[in-house]
A and B are shown apart, each in its own frame.
Chain A
Amino acid sequence: MNSIVFIAQVPDTEARIKIAPDGRHIDESGLKFIVSPFDEYALEAAIRLREAKQGEVTVVGFGPDRVAQALRECLARGATKALHVKGDVFAADSLGIARVLAAAAKSLPHDVLLFGKQGVGTDNSLVGPMVAEILGYPQINIVTQFEIGEGTITAHREIEGAEEIIEASLPAIVTAQKGLNEPRYASLKGIMAAKKIAIDTKTPADLGLQDSDIYNQRVTVAALELPKEKSGGRKIDGSDAAAAAKEIARYIREEAKAL
């Protein structure tokens, strides 16, 4: 059972976002980058599959040199192979990225293709289903549980206020939701073992892609904006709970018009 886990490297969720002077990108100076949290669930699921059914767990990342660090971290946790496709991820839109990842998938053994349900940052939730379409595979999005059968996958998909159980043929695309598992930390042994694994490096051209496949953006960022700072509202003392409750209720009724 071979898995590919596609990872996005994103700013630490604790980080404050600053906008670069060009007004269209974030300022990366001093930013700590992490493996996107939802991708951690995808990776953990793949490692558990390997523990149960052998095979390879290949992590794939597309982007600048710093992505190697994220791939190294995944190897330390238990991925067995890593592919770094080097390119300008910021000059590609989701479809461009999906074409790169789909081409990478074709070059690797796979039964299950795993993604996080979204990259925490750009928050698009587009690339997984786009890869599925390009490869002609079924997709199961926002998965909280799955099992592998004989050439099939059965997965629980989260929808508004309910859950669907979906059965699909393999190979299939799964996007991981929180709740799928509890990701492990890298062990010291894992970190040492990971150092012996070479990260394979390719360019999109090595995968048979042309720049026009990737960098003709259909969605372009015209500007980034920060939300308006709130001035902070009214604050009252709640030591008299009944009086405070009446004040809140009045606010809800008169200003939010929700009562």
Chain B
Amino acid sequence: MTGVLVFCESKDGNLIKVSREALTVGRQLAGASGGDLAAFGQPGVEVDAGRYGAKTLFAAALPQYNTEIDAAAMKAAVDQMQPAIVLFGGTANGRDLAPRLAARLGVGVASDVDRLEWNEGKLRARRPVYSGKAFAIVDVTGMPAMATTRMNAFPAEESGGGAAAVVQIAVPAVEPKAKVVETKTPEAGELSIVEADIIVSGGRGLKEAANFSLIRDLAHALGGAVGASRATVDAGWIDHQHQVGQTGRVVSPNLYIAVGISGAIQHLAGMASSRHIVAINKDPEAPIFRVADFGVVGDLFQVVPALTAEVRRVKGQ
């Protein structure tokens, strides 16, 4: 068994970012372990997949993600290719499918990894545990070894490769026990914190729900997503999908701006691995300043609107 197979998702015929990230790290693993890179995805993504180094696209014309159908189709691709490693971009779907397929094949999965290497014939991964309070270095043995990659944790780099050769995978004749009957996009166009390169988060310092508009304005000016502390979510100021931290999402964007967030241990665990951290807080002793690269001790109601205006000015908005 050699090579790397990557479960890829696409939107409007283009691979989504985390699929490109998974292909990029998959290409490195394929090189290190001596094998080829292949993608599993929709027909039509062979050019995009090839651009990130896939030699082969196992193409299954599946209308919409479905656990049971995708598991059967992925299993068919695995049976045909016999890869040493199978990767999934860490979306809700990738993380839904990986354990289902792993249990079917009797193999192991490392979830939500932010580093991967081929180490003496084994897949070695680093994954945050205790919501980022620690990292586990894990070895995945058995074939194929599986992992889901954390969004934003790996770069997406093109390889300059041509279109992948298409191998058709028949749509499995599975009557699924669970089916999507409707998809709702409540906040159209709003960026999810797990996908964002920039997150602006608000905490209790905002004093009331309406003041989240300050956070939204700055996030929109920067082209980022809106995050929130647990206290604000529990108070009902904002939906839990925005929550950063131990009972929310662990994020590692390029830029994290914490506004009026004191920095409880559960919150710090969820954002401390961000590459650049700015904190704005009136309390100079707030724990958030311990992880901030750039701290401003001041009144958020003055500083944030001024920053939003400055960002707009620089961007010429």
Contact = CB atoms under 8 A, between A and B. Distances in A.
Interface string B105-136: 01111111000000000001001111111111
A127 B131 CA distance: 17
A164 B183 contact: yes
Main SS class of interface, B: mixed
A235 B109 contact: no
A129 B137 contact: no
A237 B303 CA distance: 11
Interface in B296-317: 296-299, 302-303, 305-307, 309-311, 314-315
Contacts, number: 292
Contacts of A221: 136-138
A24 to B, nearest CB: 9
A168 B179 contact: yes
Contacts of B290: 230, 232
B14 interface: no
Interface residues of B, number: 102
Interface in B136-189: 136-142, 145, 176-187
B8 interface: no
B48 interface: no
Contacts of B109: 94, 124, 126, 219
Chain A interface residue count: which class? 35 or more
Contacts of A242: 306, 310
A167 B181 contact: yes
A178 B242 CA distance: 11
A222 interface: yes
Contacts of A13: 131, 246-247, 265-266
Given A94-B108, A221-B136, A245 B141 contact: no
Most buried by A among B138, B247, B265: B247
- Nearest 5 A/B pairs, CB to CB: A238-B298, A218-B108, A138-B178, A245-B306, A168-B178
